[in-house]
Amino acid sequence: MRIDSHHHFWNYTPEDYGWIGNEMQILKRDFSPEDLKSLLDELGIEGVISVQARTDEAENAFLLDYAKQHDFIRGVVGWFDLTQPDVAEKVARFSENPKAVGVREVLQGLDERNYCLREDFNRGVAALHDFGLVYDILIFGDQLPAAIQLVDRHPAQVFVLDHLAKPVIGPAGVDPAWEASIRSLAQREQVFCKLSGMVTEVIPSLDDWTPDLLRPWFDVVLEAFGPDRLMFGSDWPVCLLRGEYADWVQCVDFWIQDLSADEQKAILGETAVRAYGV
C-alpha cells in the first residue's frame, strides 16, 4: 500500500491563511480532495494523511468531514492549543472519530523557540497518549534540541517529525549541527520522520533542484531512522512552490530504488500505516 503521509486541503481566504505570502500566488486558491485524487490515481497512491494548515479548531471538523466523504483519506492530524486547561476533554472528543490520528502545533512559527518545553504544553501532549494520538513535530532545525527534550518527557508517546525539521538545503551541504541533532533524535525509538517538505527548503537563489542536490539530507535521515521509521509525504500543495507532485514522487522513487523491496514498501506506505494506525 502506498500512502502520502502529509498533505493539506484548504478553502483559501487571506484571513485564514496569513502564512501564504505574496510570493506564493500559486497557493492562493482552494485545494480540495477532488484536486488531489486525480494526482493520486495517476501515481498509484492509495491513501493519504490530511494535516492541519491553520491554527483553528474549526480545521479539525473541516478535515474530518472531508475524511468522512472520501475513503482515500485514511487519517487526520488536527490542531488544538495544547496549553489550554480543557484540552484533554477536547482531545477526547476528537479521538472518538476513527480517522482522527494525530495533533500538531505550528512550533516553527512561534517566537518562543522553546515553547514545546512549557509545562502547560507538556500536559497537553501527555493527554494525546491517553487517546492513542500521534504528535507531529513541526519545527526548524534550531528547535531540534528542545524537541529532543520534549520527546524524552514522553517516552510512551509516538512522535512524527515533519519535513526533516526543515534544514537549509543548498550547495553548502548538510549543516553538522542539524545532522547531529537529527541523529540524536532518531535514537528515540518512538520517533518517526516524514520524507517531505524538502523542495521548499532549497535556498531561493537556486532556480531549480535535483535529486542529487537533496540526496545528502535524505542519506542522513535514512541512516538515522532507517526505512521502518521513515515515511513518504508530499506536502502538497505547498510543494507546488518548487515543483509538481509527480516530481517529488519520482525523486523519492529514484532515491530508494536500490533498497530492498521490504524497505521500499516501508518508506512508501507501511511506516505511515504503522505510525498512525491507519
Joined grid coordinates for residue 225? 531512522
CA–CA distance, 276 with 5 (Å, rounded to integer): 9
User: How far is the C-alpha of 228 from the C-alpha of 271, rounded, in Å?
Assistant: 6
Place of cell 507538556: 122
- pLDDT tens per residue across span 70-90: 999 999 999 999 999 999 999
| Averaged pLDDT, 5-30 | 95
Q: Across-strand partners of 159?
A: 135, 191
Q: Is residue 72 exposed (0-12), middle (13-18) or buried (19+ Cβ within 10 Å)?
A: middle
Q: What is the mean pLDDT of residues 24-39?
A: 96
Confidence of residue 119 (pLDDT cuts 50, 70, 90): very high
Q: Is 165 left (phi over 0), alpha (psi -120 to 50) or beta?
A: left
Rounded CA separation 161/199 (Å): 16
The pLDDT of residue 205: 85
SS3 237: coil
For 198, the grid coordinates are 524538502
pTM, two decimals, is: 0.96
Predicted pLDDT at 218: 98
pLDDT in tens, 178-226: 999 999 999 999 999 999 999 999 998 888 899 999 999 999 999 999 9
Cα 210 from Cα 176, distance rounded (Å) = 21
The topology under which CATH files domain 3-276 is TIM Barrel (3.20.20)
DSSP secondary-structure letter at 202?
A: B
Sorted by where each begins, the domain ranges of the chain are 3-276
Average pLDDT, the chain: 97
